[in-house]
Every structure is written in C-alpha cells, then in structure tokens.
Amino acid sequence: MNNTPLLKINNLTVTYPLNSEGSDVLKALDNTSLKVNSGQIIGIVGESGAGKSTIGKAILGLLDPPAKLVSGEIRFLGNSLVGLSEAQFESLRGNQIGYIYQNPMTALNPVLTIGEQVIEAILANTTMTGKEAYNYAIQLLERADVSFAKDRLQKYPHQLSGGLCQRIVFAIAIAAKPKLIVADEPTTALDVTVQSSVLQTLIKLSQEEGIAIILITHDIGVVSETCDYVYVLRNGKHIEQGETVQVLEKPMQEYTRSLMASVPLIEKRLHRFALPNEGKIEGISSHLGYLQEERKEDFSSNKTILKVTNISKTFYTPSTLFKPKDAFQAVKNVSFSVNRGETVGIVGESGSGKSTIGRMILGLEDITEGNVIYKGKDINSIINSEDRLAHYLSIQCIFQDPYSSLNPRMTAGENITYGLKIHKLIDSKNAKSLAQDLMVLVGLQRQDADKLPQSFSGGERQRIGIARALGYRPDFIFCDEPTSALDVSVQANLLNLLKDLQEQFSLTLLFVSHDLAVIRQMCDRVIVMKDGEALENGSNENIFEQPKHAYTRSLLDAMPKFQGLAQY
C-alpha cells in the first residue's frame, strides 16, 4: 500500500461565532484528526451537532463565513488544502474530490434539467465537449443504475423520485473519476427499500473506479454494512476510532457504548433499551392520583378499544392552470382492531397512508368510506359537541415534528394545560402544579415549566408534547413518528419513557413509523402498509421472524443489519 494517505486531517478546529463580536465561539470541530487511504471506505458517525458535516465541508473548501477554520491542516495527496483560493478549490472539486448531499431533492436545482446539471459537471471537470459529453452523461446515468437514462436527461428533479435523484447525484460525483467522495448522509432522506439499493450502487461505483469514500452518517446500520473503518465524533471532539466491528461491537469508550445501546435492533425485541445512567423519575406530588384516576365509563369487559373496518380516504386536488381536478386514494379499504393496553404499530414507507389512518381515527380527517368504532361508538355518528369532546379527550396525539407542534409564544406549562383550561377540566390555580408534575413525569425539571419551547432541545420538546397528551388522561395515544426527528440516543430514552408511561397509566398506543427497528422494539402487533393498503397484519414475532408478504420480506432485507453490542 502507498505510504502517503489520500487524505490526512490533523488537529482540525473549526469555530462558529455565537455572538456578533466573535468573543464567544462554538467549536464545531475541536482538534479532530482523520486519515483516509485510497480506495478505503471510512465512516464518520455521531449525533447531531457532532461536527460530521463540517469535516466534509472543510475538505471541499465549502465552509462559508461565519464558520472559521482556526487551526490544523488538511492534506490531500500530500498537498495542503487550507487557505486555497476559491479558484484553486474549483479545479479540485468534482475533479479530485466529489461530494454527495444528504437530500437529493434539494441538492439538484429545481429549475434546470437533469441533463444540464449532469453535463455541466462533465464540461467543468473533463476535456469532453458537445455530443461526447452528452453521450458520457447517458453512460454515467446507466452506470449509476438509472433506467431510461436518455429520457431522464430531459426531466426536472421534481419529476423523479428521491432514489433516482440520488443516483443522478452519484453520477455527477463520479463524472471526473475523483479519488475521494465525501458522502454526507447519502441515504437518510430515502425510504428503506430505496436506501439499500442506492447504497449498493454507491459502493459498486467506488469499487469500479477505486474511489475512496468518507461516509458521514448517523445510521449505525449503514456504517456496519459498508465501512472498513469508523470514527466516532461527539460535539466536535474525536471520541473513538477503529475497525468497524471493533468500534461498533466492542467499543472502548462510554459514549460509544451508550450510543450503540441506543440503536434499535431488528433481530430481537428487548423489553427496554439498556441505557447507562438512566434517571429514575421521582418527586411527583399532588396530581398523580388525578392522572391515574379511571374514567367513569368502564369498558373493561370489552377487550377491543378500537375497531377499524374497511376505511378508505380519497383526497381531491383542485384544478390548476395546467392540470384538471385530480383524485388520490391515500388509504384503501384497511381494517384492523386494537385491544386495550396494547401497542399496535403501522409501518410503511413515505406515502403509504399510515399517518392518514391515524388522522381519521383522531377525527382530524373525514373518513371517505368505512367505519371506525372507538369504545363501542362509531365516530362517524359523533355529531354533538359533547360526544366530540369526550372523543378528543380520550384519544390524544403525539406529533412528528417537535419544533412545530408546540406554540412558541406559550411556556411549556401553558402548552401542556391550555387545552385543559379551555375545556374547564382544571382551574388555573391547579393548572400550574399539574403542568409541573407532568414535566417531572416525562423526565424534565419542575421549574422548566416556565420556559418557552425554544429553550428546549428536540427530545425535550417531544417530552413536553407527551406531557400535554397525558394531561387529558387519555386512554389511547396516536404516536405519529414521534422519534423520527430525533437523535438515536434521544430516541432510545423517549421510547423507554413511552413504555414506562404506558405501563403506569395503562395506555393503548397506535404507533406509526417508517423505522422497522423502532416498530420492532415498541409494538405488540404490526400492520405493514404500502400505497394505502394493509398488506400484512400480525404479531410482532410473526411479522419480523416469519413474514408472509413479499413486500414485508423486502423491507426486512433492505434494513441495514447491526448486531448490537457484543455482550447482548
């Protein structure tokens, strides 16, 4: 092997100013070092704010002010990249070092054709011109496994799927046969079945051309399947490095170990995530009795709390300048039932109609056809406001995006109790202490109830959302991708919390997610959906261990495999 590494980063520090004078700075990268040999695939893993993307941008000279490269060196084939001019970087980018962006739909310019965007990269980085460049573009797309390559050149990004767009981005990245590609979360924005084939294409291309890859990702499964060598980062600091198997399964550092323990596994179901240093919840005083108090109506004789029969939902789009009115069937004839106290998961890729089902049960969308019987009552028959209120109180929701689901002008406490106050379920005097109790219940500080949502992290906001739902003393909570916007360690904590609360308050959960591993860990029964149809419905073990439907099998096969820490 060649002795000079392809890329070598030594003690790199990059800062962002936190105030206008620049006296207070955030160290996005703190004295980080890295080495890549040619043809090697290395992974950089870490949670948000770890500085993963900053490394990628620093290598390509894409760090824009106010980011500042304070110290350290970056050497590519022995030559320093620090302080190169924009023009010098232009000749390096695309030509020597390629770049792949996280979200292919935003990486391609929406108003230019695919052809123009591929060909401009060819013209900029090779000596080809005209017809030759056009033919080479077709050839590149074909090599990136894009079908109908010639036709696709005529298209615009929004006309193609995310997976295809990402393949086109790959084609652009390899156009000039660079020696290194920086791939920043290349599959995160894609559905799981697309993810694995796209990733295979990337690996294939790099092997054919002998291109080294720096794979930046938060997905441990992806790293475990593709990388030779891994670096773990946290808050800009280098935590651990080593051979992939070594780092993932027998980590030396505490942080790496807790990170690995947080990864939901698909192979086996655990009672809860084995997280170190998980705090016990204490100090709830006055309102616990109130929260645990049973509702007056007793349905304990009836095991089934929710019965959904043949529901369908059709959305209509109004006619526009260029298209007539259009109908789209989001949910087709779906039936299932949920028993008291159990967790039922709906899993499917984007556009499968899984959230729409939940919204219909909540009463947020009209039901086009079919029946939803909740606690013995058909929700189509709810017409007076009293029944409607009873329905809403009994069914609550935890939303996907913790950033937009809280009112930013109200404190956390007000967010938790304002609905209760409107319905006069609690007076303002008790509202405050109830909010504080709920904060403690979800693992936050009592006094934090007076803070505004923006002073909380994403995970903490989601806890506030859970507290808000619990305040209504619901029987049933619809969880719509509650952790998909969160880091894996935060997710593990939150899922543990949900399990604890479910036991404590005998809640029934309907859990929607695109993440099979999360569903595997959380749910007793699972419904697999695709294009609005329920393809398979069965117990957790049946679905994950003996899937019947071909689509379920393909979903499971596509999941990147990670065995978990060695001691389990």
Stretch that binds another protein, among 116-124, 190-198, 380-388, 531-539 (CB under 8 A): 116-124
Instruction: Answer yes or no whether residue 124 interacts with another protein by CB under 8 A.
Output: yes
Helix H or strand E segment including 495: helix 488-505
| Identity of the residue, 290 or 328, whose beta carbon is nearer to another protein in the bound complex | 328
**Residue 125 or 489 having the CB closest to another protein:** 125
Provide, rounded to whole angstroms, the least separation between the CB of residue 145 and another protein: 20
| CA–CA dist 35, 78 (Å, integer) | 12
**Interaction of residue 109 with another protein, rule CB under 8 A:** yes
Shortest separation between residue 165's beta carbon and another protein, angstroms: 11
Q: How far is the CB of 328 from another protein (least distance, A)?
A: 9
Smallest gap, in angstroms, from Cβ of residue 5 to another protein? 22
Identify the helix (H) or strand (E) that includes residue 326: strand 326-339
If one asks whether residue 170 binds another protein (CB under 8 A), the answer comes out as: no
Q: Please state whether beta strands 476-480 and 508-513 pair in parallel, antiparallel, or not at all (unpaired).
A: parallel
d(C-alpha 340, C-alpha 506), whole Å: 8
Shortest Å distance, C-beta 326 to another protein: 6
To another protein, the closest distance from the beta carbon of 528 in angstroms equals 26
Closest approach of Cβ 98 to another protein, in Å?
A: 8
Dist CA 354 CA 326 (whole Å):
21
Q: Find tokens 């890329």 and name the residue.
A: 7
Q: Closest Cα partner for 529 from 361, 352, 296?
A: 352
Q: Which of residues 311-330 bind another protein (CB under 8 A)?
A: 317, 320-323, 326
Smallest gap from residue 315 Cβ to another protein (A): 11
The CA distance from 501 to 354, in Å, is 24
Compute the least distance from the CB of residue 408 to another protein, in Å: 22
Closer to another protein by Cβ: residue 71 or 317 = 317
- What secondary structure letter does DSSP report for 446? G
Q: Which amino acid is at 300?
A: S
Size of the site for another protein (CB under 8 A): 39
Long-range contacts: 137-146, Cβ < 8 Å, 24+? 137/171, 140/171, 140/172, 140/174, 140/175, 141/167, 141/168, 141/171, 143/171, 143/174, 143/205, 143/208, 144/168, 144/170, 144/171, 144/174, 144/201, 144/205, 145/197, 145/201, 146/171
Question: Which is nearer to another protein, 110 or 283 (by Cβ)?
Answer: 110
Alpha helix ranges (H) inside 153-265 = 162-174, 192-209, 220-226, 244-249, 254-262
Distance CA 244, CA 171 (A): 27
* Cβ contact 74:36 at 8 Å: no
> Could you give phi then psi for residue 133, rounded to 5 degrees?
-65, -40
Instruction: Select 327 or 422, whichever has its Cβ closest to another protein.
Output: 327
Q: Which two three-digit tokens encode residue 345?
A: 């998961």
Among residues 169, 194, 205, 501, the one that binds another protein under rule CB under 8 A: 169
Nearer to another protein, 327 or 383 (CB): 327
Contact 55, 34 (CB under 8 A): yes
**Binds another protein (CB under 8 A): choice among 6, 9, 58, 101:** 101
Which residues within the stretch 174-233 sit at the binding site for another protein (CB under 8 A)? Answer: 176
Q: Which is nearer to another protein, 169 or 230 (CB)?
A: 169
Residues in 128-167 at the binding interface with another protein, rule: CB under 8 A? 156, 158-159
User: Of 60 and 517, which CB lies nearer to another protein in the complex structure?
Assistant: 60
Neighbouring residues of 363: CB distance < 8 A, sequence distance ≥ 6: 379, 382, 388, 391, 392, 395
Looking at the Cβ atoms of 96 and 335, the one nearer to another protein is 96
Quick one: DSSP state of residue 93?
Answer: B
| Among positions 92, 222, 360, 485, the unique one binding another protein when judged by CB under 8 A | 92
For another protein, which is the closer residue by CB, 16 or 156? 156
Within 8 A by CB and 6+ apart from 553, the residues are 547
Per-residue contact string for residues 262-301; x = within reach of another protein by CB under 8 A: ----------------------------------------
Rounded to whole angstroms, the Cα distance separating 209 from 330 reads: 43
Q: Report the residue number, 99 or 551, with the smaller CB distance to another protein.
A: 99
By beta-carbon proximity to another protein, the closer residue of 114 and 266 is 114
CB 408 within 8 A of CB 468: no
Rounded to the nearest whole angstrom, what is the least distance from the CB of residue 111 to another protein in the complex? 5
Between 205 and 526, CB nearer to another protein? 205
**Binder among 25, 27, 38, 62 for another protein (CB under 8 A):** 62
The answer to whether the CB of 464 falls within 8 A of the CB of 442 is: yes
- Shortest approach of another protein to residue 15 CB, angstroms? 18
Q: Is the Cβ–Cβ distance between 115 and 185 less than 8 Å?
A: no
Q: How far is the CB of 351 from another protein (least distance, A)?
A: 13
Q: Do the beta carbons of residue 56 and residue 182 sit within 8 Å? A: yes
Smallest gap from Cβ 107 to another protein, in A, equals: 4
- 367 C-beta neighbours (distance < 10 Å), count: 19
Interface with another protein, residue 125, by CB under 8 A: yes
Q: Tell me, residue by residue from 7 to 46, as one string, x for binding to another protein by CB under 8 A and - for no binding.
A: ----------------------------------------
Of positions 78, 79, 86, 386, contacts another protein by CB under 8 A: 86
Shortest separation between residue 130's beta carbon and another protein, angstroms: 17
Backbone angles phi, psi at 547, to 5 degrees: -65, 140
Give the nearest distance from C-beta 160 to another protein in angstroms: 11
Q: Site residues (CB under 8 A) for another protein?
A: 60, 62, 86, 90-95, 98-99, 101-103, 106-113, 116, 120-121, 124-125, 156, 158-159, 169, 172, 176, 317, 320-323, 326
